[in-house]
């Protein structure tokens, strides 16, 4: 089981809005000893959203999905989730109750505005229509809930709503996965080394140390800096279970130094993951 994120909305793909969910999701997971394994961006296209959800629902991953659960013409996520599951949309009784409370709150004592039979209030109840069998995700901001089906969790695109809802899901459904395995990442900088020259060594290290992953993050340098990082360099390292990292790191570092390249070691980074 891994953790994934699906961000839905044409406004993200067109650049009208900048996605903030991925960074925050990484932070929320990391604070609980978990990690984001993948992320996808999908526009407001019903066929594409449905196909994406049908694929991810067939897998084992925990998936957070933001955006498109409102009741305007460009909101399709609720309908697509139901289609992907092959079930109808139904008005969830608890969602109806929370939406009714929200209507009463926003009416400010006006009995006409609070009339649940008004067309606009009846339309608000559409936001509580979820795939049959869905569970409610409470919304502390304005009561309009999100929903969960299996290990998929759907919430609005607004960060002020989505992020507390994501925290609620993690803390209520996945506590048993928190901080299970101590992970470590160790890396060093290599200066003026072509990646193609280092690749065979990287492959050898991974083959010799199953369970450890080697990573390489090249940089062309920053000429504005007056130090060694003005030159071309690579952030090179290994990550994995803490007990496996040390020998793999030593093999990688010694191998690079044996080639004659300048290296600068970085502090080790540790976390705990499921």
CATH code for the part of the protein at 3-177? 3.40.980.10
Comparing CA positions, the residue from 169, 165, 160 lying closest to residue 20 is 160
Architecture of the domain delimited by 182-273: 2-Layer Sandwich (3.30)
Residue corresponding to tokens 């790191």: 249
Euclidean distance between CA atoms 141 and 244, whole angstroms: 44
Report residue 85 as tokens.
């599951």
pLDDT computed for residue 1 by the predictor: 80
Phi, psi of 233 (to 5 degrees): -155, 165
Cα 160 to chain center, whole Å? 16
Q: The tokens 């092959």 sit on which residue?
A: 86
pTM beyond 0.85: the answer is: no
Exposure string of 3-41, with b = 16+ CB inside 10 Å and e = fewer, is: bbbbbbbebbeeeeeebebeebbbebbeebbbebeebee
CA angle 58, 63, 64 (to 5 degrees): 145
Say what the pLDDT of residue 273 is.
Answer: 55
Nearest to 104 by CA among 140, 161, 146, 142: 142
Q: Could you tell me where in the chain the CATH 3.40.980.10 domains are found?
A: 3-177
Residues of the chain with CATH 3.30.70.250: 182-273
Reported as type and span, the H/E element at residue 105 is helix 93-107
Question: Among residues 150, 173, 145, which one has the least CA distance to residue 69?
Answer: 145
Torsion angle of C-alpha atoms 45, 60, 18, 223, degrees rounded to 10 = -130
Give the pairing type, strands 181-191 and 262-265.
Answer: antiparallel
Collect the ranges in the chain with pLDDT lower than 70: 223, 271-274
């Amino acid at each position: 089981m891994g953790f994934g994120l699906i961000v839905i909305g044409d406004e993200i793909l067109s650049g009208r809005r900048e996605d903030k969910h991925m960074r925050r999701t990484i932070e929320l997971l990391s604070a609980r000893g978990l990690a984001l394994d993948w992320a996808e961006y999908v526009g407001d296209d019903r066929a594409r959203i449905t196909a994406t959800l049908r694929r991810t629902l067939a897998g084992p991953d925990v998936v957070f999905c933001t955006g498109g659960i409102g009741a305007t013409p460009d909101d399709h996520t609720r309908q697509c989730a139901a289609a992907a599951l092959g079930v109808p949309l139904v008005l969830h009784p608890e969602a109806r109750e929370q939406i009714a409370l929200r209507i009463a709150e926003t009416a400010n004592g006006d009995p006409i505005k609070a009339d649940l039979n008004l067309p606009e209030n009846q339309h608000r109840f559409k936001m509580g229509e979820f795939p049959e069998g869905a569970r409610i995700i409470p919304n502390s901001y304005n009561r309009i809930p999100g929903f969960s089906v299996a290990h998929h969790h759907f919430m609005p695109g607004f960060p002020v709503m989505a992020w507390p809802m994501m925290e609620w899901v993690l803390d209520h459904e996945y506590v048993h996965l928190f901080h299970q395995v101590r992970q470590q990442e160790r890396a060093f900088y290599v200066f003026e080394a072509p990646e193609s020259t280092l690749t065979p060594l990287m492959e050898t290290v991974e083959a010799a140390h199953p369970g450890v992953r080697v990573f390489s993050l090249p940089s062309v340098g920053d000429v504005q800096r007056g130090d060694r990082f003005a030159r071309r360099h690579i952030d090179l390292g290994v990550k994995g279970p803490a007990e496996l990292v040390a020998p793999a790191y030593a093999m990688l570092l010694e191998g690079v130094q044996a080639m004659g390249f300048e290296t600068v070691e970085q502090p080790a980074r540790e976390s705990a993951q499921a």
